[in-house]
Amino acid sequence: MSMRYYRSVWISDAHLCTRDSQSAVLHDFLDSIRCDYLYLVGDMIDVWALRRRWYWPDQYNEVVHKLLKRSRKGAKVCYIPGNHDDFFRQFAGYHFGQVEIVNQAIHVTADGRRFLVTHGDEFDTVVRHHEWLSHLGSWAYQYLIGVNRIVNLVRRWFGKPYWSFSGAIKRKVKQTVRYVNKFEELLVAEAKRLGVDGVICGHIHQAALREAQGILYCNTGDWIESCTALVEHEDGSLELLRWHEERAEQAAEPASAVAALALPASVGPAGPAALGTPPTTEALPA
C-alpha cells in the first residue's frame, strides 16, 4: 500500500493505556502517511487509566515509535495535551526530541487561513467545574465501549460490518446532544474572539467538519470508535478521513494499478506533485 502525502495531519483521543484503544488501526494509519506537520490534539495517552492500572502492550511501543519516526523523517510534531493526559501540560514550551509540547497553537494553512488548535476540555463546563462528574462520565463511557465490543463481536460472527452501538446511544440521548452543541458553540465563540477562521479540537469523540457562524469547526474524532483524522492537502483544503473507509479504498488500489500498467505511457498517471511549502504555525500567548 503506497504512502499518501498530506501537508498537515491532526489526530486525537487515542487513549493509549485503555483496552479499547484501536492502536493497531492507528499504527496502520501512521504507517501509510507522510506529512510536513503532525498535531497530536490531546488524550493520546490516558494517564487517568494508567493511574488505575498499568496497561501497556507492545503495540503501544510501535505506535510511539511511528510518531517519533514521523518527526525524524522531517515532520514537525506538536503535542497538545488534553484532560486525560494533563500531566504533560506542565512541560508546555519544552521539546522532547523533535516533539514540541504546547497547550494551544495557531495553524496557518497553505491558503492563508488561521485555525485555533486546542484539545477543547477547557471549554467543557463539566471538566472545568465538576471534575468528579467528568471521571464518572469517563467510567460510564468505558462501560459503554465494553458493551459496544460485545455487540460488534456478535456482528462479526454474522458477517456484518462494524456499528457503533455507543455512538447510536449518544445520538439518541437529548442531554448528550445539548452538551455537544454547547461545546461547539463555546469553541466557535472563542475562534471569533481570537479573530481566526476556524477551530480544530478533539475531546468529545464526535468527528465533524462544518461551518458555524462563519467559523469552520473541525473535530478530529477519536481512535476508539470512529478512527478519524483531519488532514490538510497541499492547496490548504481540509478533509475529514474515516480510516476504516480509507483503508478499504486503498486496498482496492493495487487492482487499478495493475490495469494501468497495460496502458500506453502517454496516457498513464502523472508523476507525483511537488511538495507544498512547510506549514506556518504561531504559538498563542501564555
pLDDT in tens, 125-144: 644 444 534 444 554 555 55
Taking the model in full, what pTM does it have?
0.75
What does the domain layout of the chain look like in residue ranges?
4-250+275-283
SS3 label, residue 166: helix
Q: What is the pLDDT of residue 154?
A: 72
User: How far apart are the C-alpha atoms of 128 and 188, rounded to whole Å?
Assistant: 18
DSSP 8-state code for residue 83: S
User: How far apart are the C-alpha atoms of 39 and 12, rounded to whole Å?
Assistant: 8
Q: Which residues are paired to 10 by β-bridges?
A: 39, 230
CA-based max dimension of the chain: 66
Cell, residue 208: 465533524
User: How far apart are the C-alpha atoms of 66 and 58, rounded to whole Å?
Assistant: 13
**143-202 per-position pLDDT tens digit:** 555 666 666 667 667 776 665 655 555 555 445 556 677 889 999 999 999 999 999 999
Confidence of residue 62 (pLDDT cuts 50, 70, 90): very high
- Write the CATH number of the domain with boundaries 4-250+275-283: 3.60.21.10
The candidate with the shortest Cα–Cα distance to 118, out of 101, 106, 104, is: 104
- Over range 262-279, report the average pLDDT: 40
Q: What is the pLDDT of residue 182?
A: 86
